[in-house]
Amino acid sequence: MHGDDAKDILPVDGEHWDDAYGEDLSYLWDSRLAPLFWPLTRTGVASAWFEHIPFAHWLVQVVSPRILVELGTHAGVSYSAFCESVLRSNLATQCFAVDTWKGDEHASFYGEEVFFDFLSYSAVPSTRPSTTLLTTQSICSM
């Protein structure tokens, strides 16, 4: 702070905290925001999704879908976040991961080790309810 700036700060004691800040900041402790602070469950793999996981957790909880289908799962970071939110929110959502697990010109091509790594992770009970479909995405448009 610079000299005169200090005079603009008003101290707020415990007795007046609610009057000064309670109404303005009450949204910060709304329990519906809890998913934004859940820990990551799928780590140790490369993904551009890590910064979006809090939003994915929150979105699934708020929308509460009956069915969730991810087309193009790759390493499963986003898919695992969706499944984690289903579990932590006690939803009856059925989740489906659809991919060839071969890659493409956009995400690059990769070997079967990516699929087997995802499969071993998704077999852990905490990531269910989950169904993995090893197929092309075009079959989903039928």
State the total domains in the chain.
1
Each residue's pLDDT tens digit, 11-33: 555 565 555 555 566 666 777 88
- DSSP label of 67: E
87 touches 95 (CB < 8 A): no
Please give the Cα distance from 22 to 84 (Å, whole number).
32
Is residue 36, in this structure, part of any structural domain at all? Answer: no
Higher-confidence residue: 39 or 14? 39
Is residue 23, in this structure, part of any structural domain at all? Answer: no
Q: What is the CATH number of the domain that holds 97?
A: 3.40.50.150
Structural domain including 60 reads: 49-142
Asked whether the whole model's pTM tops 0.75, one would answer: no
Is residue 135, in this structure, part of any structural domain at all? Answer: yes
Is residue 70, in this structure, part of any structural domain at all? Answer: yes
Mean pLDDT of the region 93-105: 85
Q: Order of strands, edge to edge, in the sheet holding 94-99?
A: 67-71, 94-99, 130-134
Is residue 131, in this structure, part of any structural domain at all? Answer: yes
Is residue 31, in this structure, part of any structural domain at all? Answer: no
CB within 8 A of 60, min separation 6: which ones? Answer: 35, 68, 82, 85, 86, 89, 91, 93
